[in-house]
Structure 1
Amino acid sequence: MPLHVPPAPAPALRTVLTALGSPTAVREARTPSLLHAQGPLTPEVPLPVHILDRFTPAGASSTRLAGWRFLIRCGERAVAAADTMLTPDGWAFSRFFEGPYIASTERALRQAETMSQSYQPRLLSVPGLYMLTLWLHGDCTEDGATGHPAATDILVPLAPAPPGIAPHRPHRVAELLPVLTHRVTPAPLLGSPA
Structure 2
Amino acid sequence: MDPQTRPKSFDDLVSYNLGEARKLRGWTQQEAAEKLSEYLGRSWSVQVYGDAERAHRSSRVKVFSGDELIAMSRAFELPLTWWFLPESPNVRLAPRGTASDDVVTGADLLDYITPVSGGMSKDFRDRLTQLFDASPELRDKYLRATSATEDLAARAARKAEIEAVAMEAVRRYADRYPEDEEDPGIRLD
Give the TM-score band, short-chain normalised: under 0.3
TM-score (norm 1): 0.26
Rg comparison, structure with higher value: 2
Q: Which has the higher strand share?
A: 1
Q: Which has the higher helix share?
A: 2
TM-score (norm 2): 0.27
